[in-house]
Amino acid sequence: CTNSRIEDLREVAAFVKGKKKADHVEVWIVPGSKQVETQAIKEGLDKVFQEAGFGLREPGCSACLGMNEDKIPAGKYCISTSNRNFEGRQGPNARTMLASPLSAAAAAIEGKIVDIRHHLS
């Protein structure tokens, strides 16, 4: 799964630890597989995400394909870490921008699209 490996979740958890998402932002963390989810929970990453206000969703394709209830509402914007985008992929009339996991996390914290390089040492 693109950008939802355990390494990706570790990197994002390290970045958001001690921070909170912007109030007007909803954040979904979707592990790429059940195995990744199990490892993330074992490492306590779920707690870091919860403290930051990020929701841990069911592992798998989820919003990447709008396969389950994890669809982006019409007219809403999404910053997705999936690997491709096309009209209606994540929900009818949803607007999606693609980003790296760290870029998406930084946007969630700041509440707007930002240059991740300003957050890196």
Tell me the CATH number at 27. 3.30.499.10
| Domain extent for 23 | 6-118
pTM score? 0.88
Through-space distance between the first and last CA atoms of the chain, rounded to whole angstroms: 28
Q: CA-CA distance, 3 to 28, in Å (whole number)? A: 13
Write down the residue that tokens 């996390």 correspond to: 105
pLDDT in tens, 36-51: 999 999 999 999 999 9
Number of domains in the chain: 1
Q: Is residue 96 part of a domain?
A: yes
Q: Is residue 1 part of a domain?
A: no
pLDDT for the residue numbered 44:
98
Give the max Cα distance, the chain.
Answer: 39
